[in-house]
Structures are given as structure tokens and as C-alpha cells.
A = this chain, B = another copy of it.
Amino acid sequence: MTRDKKLGRLAEIAVKIGVNVQKGQELIVNAPIEAQELVRRIAEHAYRAGATLVVPFFADDATQRARYLHAGDESFDFAPAWMGEAMAKAIGNGAAMLTVVGSDPMLLADCDPARIGRAQRAAAAAMKPVRNLLSGFATNWSILSFATPAWARAIFPDIAEGEAVAKLWDAIFAVTRVDLPDPIEAWRDHAASLLDRCGILNNKRFAALHFRGPGTDLRVGLAENHLWAGGAIEACNGVVCLPNMPTEEVFSMPHKNNVEGIVSATKPLVYGGVLIEGISVRFEAGRIVEVHASKGEDVFKSLIDTDEGASRLGEVALVPDASPVSRAGLIFRNTLFDENAASHIALGQALALNMKGGCDAAQGANESMIHVDWMIGSAQIDVDGIAASGTAEPVMRAGAFVIRN
């Protein structure tokens, strides 16, 4: 199959399985400008599926970078809140959203971390209305990715650009199951098996998870009435979507005041165009009280200072080390991929679908302008489920699921 043909398949999967756009629905598509070929195919499949309108928003890394190179210092506290409000209004009126990621993970590597932090904070505030609707699944939405040259170069710095892009596409097509004879069917099977895993964990009603491994001894209390989710999600409008492609995780809600111990990142975190490496933090009563990072520590500190909830957890997720994304053996420097290669926790906003009746702070749901996933799993990590009685039960051993019904 040619790359062209595979791009068409990726668009079809994204439209039919990912966002599952409905007849009569408007579709907002966010994408890097390099992804125009994919966006055109997405538009084609969305219109074929009966979308009334496909509204693409193209983001340009170079324009963003021009700001860091040429703007006055006061610029960095501004963000277009009017865009966030407009998109929220469209979603409120029924629009679905598909987001294509693939921007240069190194775009801002040489820029001032304080400015990056301020700009991210302003952007997060501007997009809050959209984030609230998406995290509450007010509509069907999905995220997929596009192999931009800059992203490919960041992953494969030592080979020629064309070859790097080809290798990244190979990885993307593999983990999105585009390579399989019937990708749509394969995604339906995969979603069913993630749903089974959620069922098992929901039956257990653990009070906490205990992560152990090199540099990690972390007890993540689970919120009261927490729910495990993964794979397909039925949005509030009744449409079943698959929010992340790839997706390998099952995830639930930590109790914001009930996380204790130390944890070390097992993969770098890309945030605000900067690579943050060697993160190790200590939690007390749910809050990060000590931070170390071998690289990008300033940006990480600025991140957890965004607001009160940014230093607490909003998500805990379990991913087998043998997942297709992990088997790709790459550090993708892109959360959509890396979070599906390893168990992770997320700083910031909790997800409504992880609690019966939606987010309730009194039951431990965290609130923040940010939601940043951060990888803590590997083949060297064991996870136990801790019952309310204190009994421990193996959930994962050496990165593999061992729990059974």
C-alpha cells in the first residue's frame, strides 16, 4: 500500500471510529499546517458521512516561534480567549472535534522557560471552555497524529529527513492498525478488550494503586466512586467515539488529596515545545512537595505552578509494556503516543467520565487549567491494587497485566 493510500485509511478510521462524526453534525478539525493532505481526506470522509460543515484550523509552528523571537515581553500573557469561546459555542451547539497532533517537540527548546510557562497558562485559560466540554464528553471527539518532518527529525536526529518521516509513518500506521487487512474491525475488537479490562478493575473497587520500581514507590489513592474507562466512550450526545488513536490505556481518577511517595518518570515529557527529562517528584497528601528534573526543571516547576490543582493528580492510567506503541521501541516525544506506551499519571484536571455522576471535588476530583500526562510505567514497574481493608492484590507485574476477574 502506498503512503497516500494509508493516509486515506487513517482519515477514514479517524472519521468513522475516532470521532465517529454523525449525519448533520459540524466537524471542527485542528491540525498542524503540514497535515493539510490528511485534513483534506478527513474532510472528504466527514462529508461522505453526512457532516454539514468541516471547519479546519491549521496551526503553524513557525508563526508561533516568530512570537518568541520577535514579540515584546508583554505578549506572553495573551491568548485568543474569543477563539476558545467560539469553539465552545460550536461544541455546545453539537459540533464534533478532531485534533491532529504532530508539532515540532523541539520548537521552543531554546526559548525562555518563564515565557513558555506564561504563554501556556494564558492559552490554557483561553481554551478552558473547550477543555471543560471535551473532558466532560459533551460531544464526540478524537485525537490522531501526523508525521511532520520536524517531529520525525526530533525522534530520529541521525538519519535523513525523508527516511525519518517514512519511519515515523511506519510507526504511526502500525499503532493505528492502518496496516491490518480490516482496520475498522481491528479497532472494534481492541476497544472491546479495553472495555473488558475496565470491567474487571471496576469490580475490584480498589482504594488505591501502589506503583513500585526503580526510583518509584508511589501510593495513588483512588477517588470515591471512581470509574475505570478506556477505548471507546459514549459522549453525552449519545455518540460513541474513540478519543485517542492510538489508545492502549485504561484510566481512572486519583483522589486529589491522597497520593503519597516518590515517583520517577520513565520517559521524557514534552511540554510547551520543551523536553523535560529525568523527572522525579515526591507527593505528600496528594500534592507535589519536591521536584527534580535533569533537564527542563524550570519549565516543569512553572507547569505545576499554573494553579493549585496543577501540582495534584487528575488521572492514573495503566498500559501494558507490551502495547503496540511500546513495541515500536521509540520515544515519540508526543504524549498521544508515549502515554500509550506506558502507565502514567496526569497532573491537573480530572476527567468527568472517571467518577459516577461526574467530577465532584468533595469525592477527590482534582480541578486545574492543565491536564498533562506523564509516563511512570515500564517493564520494571509492578502495580498492586490495595483494597479498602488494606489487602494488596497484584495488578501488573514487570509491566504486564496479571489481574483477573
Interface residues of A (CB under 8 A from B): 23-24, 26, 33, 36, 39-40, 43-44, 47-48, 50-58, 60, 62-63, 66-67, 69-72, 74-75, 78-80, 82-83, 85-87, 89-90, 93
Expressed in whole angstroms, the minimum distance between the Cβ of A3 and any Cβ of chain B is 18
Expressed in whole angstroms, the minimum distance between the Cβ of A380 and any Cβ of chain B is 44
- Contact (Cβ within 8 A) A69 B55: no
Secondary structure class of chain A's binding surface, majority of residues: helix
Expressed in whole angstroms, the minimum distance between the Cβ of A70 and any Cβ of chain B is 4
- Contact (Cβ within 8 A) A83 B80: no
Residues on B with beta carbons closer than 8 Å to the beta carbon of A47: 66-67, 69-72, 75
Q: Tell me the nearest residue of chain B to A68, going by C-beta.
A: B47
A43 touching B55 in the complex, CB below 8 Å, given contacts A86-B86, A89-B82: no
- Contact (Cβ within 8 A) B82 A86: yes
A341 to B60, CA, bound (A): 34
Expressed in whole angstroms, the minimum distance between the Cβ of A125 and any Cβ of chain B is 13
Expressed in whole angstroms, the minimum distance between the Cβ of A148 and any Cβ of chain B is 13
- Contact (Cβ within 8 A) A75 B48: no
A36 touching B60 in the complex, CB below 8 Å, given contacts A26-B78, A72-B23, A86-B82: yes
- Contact (Cβ within 8 A) B48 A70: yes
Number of copies: 2
Residues on B with beta carbons closer than 8 Å to the beta carbon of A43: 62-63, 66-67, 70
A82 to B60, CA, bound (A): 22
Most B CB atoms within 10 A — which of A33, A69, A86? A86
Q: Tell me the nearest residue of chain B to A50, going by C-beta.
A: B72
- Contact (Cβ within 8 A) B66 A26: no
Residues on B with beta carbons closer than 8 Å to the beta carbon of A57: 57-58
Residues on B with beta carbons closer than 8 Å to the beta carbon of A24: 74
Residues on B with beta carbons closer than 8 Å to the beta carbon of A79: 53
Expressed in whole angstroms, the minimum distance between the Cβ of A80 and any Cβ of chain B is 5
A58 touching B75 in the complex, CB below 8 Å, given contacts A47-B67, A70-B44, A93-B82: no
- Contact (Cβ within 8 A) A80 B26: yes
- Contact (Cβ within 8 A) B60 A44: no
Q: Tell me the nearest residue of chain B to A92, going by C-beta.
A: B82
Most B CB atoms within 10 A — which of A50, A69, A80? A80
Closest 4 interchain pairs by CB? A86-B86, A47-B70, A47-B71, A58-B58
What are 28 inter-chain pairs, A to B, with CB distance below 8 A?
A24-B74, A26-B78, A26-B80, A33-B33, A39-B63, A40-B60, A40-B63, A43-B62, A43-B63, A44-B70, A47-B70, A47-B72, A52-B71, A52-B74, A52-B75, A53-B78, A53-B80, A54-B63, A54-B67, A55-B80, A56-B58, A56-B63, A58-B58, A82-B86, A82-B87, A82-B89, A82-B90, A85-B89
- Contact (Cβ within 8 A) A66 B86: no
**A66 partner, pick from B44, B52, B74, B87, beta carbons under 8 A:** B44
Residues on B with beta carbons closer than 8 Å to the beta carbon of A48: 70
Expressed in whole angstroms, the minimum distance between the Cβ of A41 and any Cβ of chain B is 8
